[in-house]
Amino acid sequence: AQKITQTQPGMFVQEKEAVTLDCTYDTSDPSYGLFWYKQPSSGEMIFLIYQGSYDQQNATEGRYSLNFQKARKSANLVISASQLGDSAMYFCAMREGGSEKLVFGKGTKLTVNP
């Protein structure tokens, strides 16, 4: 079964607008971490934001914020004031408490239009 589901293969947003990228996860472990990474066309994986399962508040990092709804098992990434440079693949990933590995979703390709 898929542990990380990203249902949006592609998303389009106008420059300066906000966009939400969806991520749902599946785990029975009460301790886990959720990560978002950005992969531009050049290929590197860039860490954006982290949310721990016990964190009381939604994580924020600059223009990135995480809409964490634990009961729904969702961890959506919100990018505010989109920029052309935000055009990239975005991956949601999870690490469960007893594991060292990251499990990735299939990614969402975001295109920011001028």
Partner 1 sequence: DSGVTQTPKHLITATGQRVTLRCSPRSGDLSVYWYQQSLDQGLQFLIQYYNGEERAKGNILERFSAQQFPDLHSELNLSSLELGDSALYFCASSVDVGGSETQYFGPGTRLLVL
**Where do contacts with partner 1 occur on this chain (CB under 8 A)?**
33, 35, 37, 42-47, 50, 52, 91, 93, 97, 99-107
Nearer CB in complex with partner 1: 37/68: 37
- Cβ neighbours of 94 (radius 10 Å): 25
Q: How far is the CB of 5 from partner 1 (least distance, A)?
A: 12
Nearer CB in complex with partner 1: 52/62: 52
Nearer CB in complex with partner 1: 21/105: 105
> Closest Cα to residue 95, out of 43, 60, 50, 39?
50
Residue 8, CA distances (Å) to 20, 35, 44, 54 in order: 10, 17, 21, 27
- Cβ neighbours of 71 (radius 10 Å): 5
Q: How far is the CB of 55 from partner 1 (least distance, A)?
A: 9
Nearer CB in complex with partner 1: 64/104: 104
Q: How far is the CB of 45 from partner 1 (least distance, A)?
A: 4
